[in-house]
Amino acid sequence: MGEPLIYTYDIDGEDFTRAGEASSSVKNRLKMLGVDSAAIRKTAIAMYEGEINMVIHADGGTITVIISDDAITMVLADRGPGIPDIEKAMQEGYSTARPEVRSLGFGAGMGLPNMKRFTDEMKIDTVIGQGTTITMKVYLHSDGL
């Protein structure tokens, strides 16, 4: 493959039930590109958790996915409230989600930990009152594409 492929998705903060459409679309694109299925699964799970977080906490945002020869990079940018204590937010089981979100099966405090577990690199840039940008990378083997 030569030039990296770049896709951008607007995440609607209003509609919780639509969360997951962007990750599904990325999953299908990666399938068509013949990316190895373990890398697809990791990317899809990490991105879906990110999408859900953006809808729950930040009223949506933008996800940019860059597919290159050696990695899939996801940049999730929102203009939400920011994360006051990243260390706490990274603990499994810690959640600030609303009860109605929990009743839908989310808000178990697994989002950020899952994102870290399923990616090879993860970086969180957050500014209170301005927003959060999370960059995640899933490595591809040299024969992956």
Partner 1 sequence: MMPVKLKDILELPECRTLVSAAPDREVTKIFCCDLLSIAMSKAPAGCVWVTVMGNRNTLAVASLADAACIVLAEGVSLDEGTLAKAGEEGIAVLSTELPVFDIALEIHEAGGL
User: Interface residues with partner 1 (CB under 8 A)?
Assistant: 16-21, 23-24, 27, 37, 41, 44-45, 48-49, 52, 104-106, 108, 110-111, 114, 117-118
Torsion angle (degrees, nearest 10) of CA 96, 102, 105, 106:
-20
CB of 45 to partner 1, least distance (A): 5
CB of 20 to partner 1, least distance (A): 3
Nearest of 86, 61, 83, 64 to residue 75 by alpha carbon: 64
Q: Which is nearer to partner 1, 114 or 133 (CB)?
A: 114
CB contact at 8 A, 44 and 65? no
CB of 140 to partner 1, least distance (A): 19
* DSSP classification of residue 55: H
Phi, psi (deg, nearest 5) at residue 111: -60, -65
Sheet holding 131-139, edge to edge: 5-12, 60-67, 71-78, 131-139, 121-127
CB of 130 to partner 1, least distance (A): 26
CB contact at 8 A, 107 and 101? yes
Q: Which is nearer to partner 1, 103 or 142 (CB)?
A: 103
CB of 29 to partner 1, least distance (A): 14
Q: Which is nearer to partner 1, 69 or 92 (CB)?
A: 92
CB contact at 8 A, 13 and 54? yes
Q: Which is nearer to partner 1, 47 or 67 (CB)?
A: 47
Q: Which is nearer to partner 1, 18 or 125 (CB)?
A: 18
